[in-house]
Amino acid sequence: MKIKWKLGDVCHAEEQIIAHGCNMQGVMGAGVAKKIRAIFPEAYSDYRKSYLNDNLSLGKVIFTPVYKQDFSEAYEIIIANCITQRYYGRVENRQYVDYKAIQTCIRTIDEFCAANDIDSVAMPMIGCSHGGGDWNIISQIIESESYEFEPVVYKIGW
């Protein structure tokens, strides 16, 4: 499906699933992953357990139901920790994200959405910032692998 764009913070998304990229190092210490860790500690806990059990691999998705509080209402959403890169770094022009891992993660999310009647998934420009990936390639992967859900990409400040 074609990507829908929204202005705002993906951590405050309206969609039932928030998907984001993680590395295999067990920390979630930068970017969107760091915000997810702070706002939804249960998602970090599940990710960390997988890390400690040596159960993180490229393309794996860890689905964690969490409660989100908006004003006076609390409701369940799902955080999808997508293992899209082995390592991380801040070396300019270095690619850490693995495109095949993104493809596998999006396929897994698509199957999850089909099985759970979910029609849209929020995400940042996954794999681009700290992952060093090319959005032109990543957006094509997302659009070509999302049959059951509409991908909604959040971007802060255009």
Q: Percent of the chain having pLDDT more than 90?
A: 84
How far is residue 138's CA from residue 67's CA, in Å, rounded to a whole number?
29
Q: How far is CA 7 from CA 15, 36, 91, 131, 150, in A?
A: 14, 18, 28, 21, 16
- Quote the pLDDT of residue 114: 98
Q: How many domains does the chain have?
A: 1
Interval 115-157: pLDDT, tens: 999 999 999 999 998 899 999 999 999 999 999 999 999 998 6
Q: Which CATH number does the domain housing residue 102 bear?
A: 3.40.220.10
Phi, psi dihedrals of residue 129, rounded to the nearest 5°: -65, -85
Domain interval for residue 93: 4-155
